[in-house]
Amino acid sequence: MSGPGRRGKRTAPTPGGAAGVGLRCCASDGALLVAGGEGGRLHLWDVASMTGRARPGAGGLGLLPGPEGWYPPLACESRAPVNAVAVLAPPGGGGRCFVAAAQDDGALALFEA
């Protein structure tokens, strides 16, 4: 938690920041963190990999995280900046979750992750 006089600790380099692309928003379900970027891309990070409880893979995407927990970025059909993201893990979903992204041009993208 952060408070007066405290600073967040950078635990892994962000692919968006490394590429010079700004990240605008993020959301998490406790195991998966999703950040939305300026170029209509979603960056997914397996937060559980920090605790040794890595997810088996991004289910519907068939992706595996890299050594620092980052999945390859997802490109929304619209390349408009992402304004908001949500992560939903349905009860009894067996490890499945869904990621929704709202974009500047009014597009809404939905991925199974």
Average pLDDT per run of 10 along the chain, which is 113 residues long?
A: 54 54 85 88 81 54 72 87 91 80 94 84
Q: Between β-strands 74-75 and 82-88, what pairing exists: parallel, antiparallel or unpaired?
A: unpaired
Q: What is the pLDDT of residue 59?
A: 47
Q: What is the pLDDT of residue 2?
A: 46
Contact 107, 80 (CB under 8 A): yes
Tokens linked to 56: 């088996």
Q: What is the pLDDT of residue 15?
A: 57
Tell whether pTM > 0.85: no
Helix (H) or strand (E) holding 37: strand 32-37
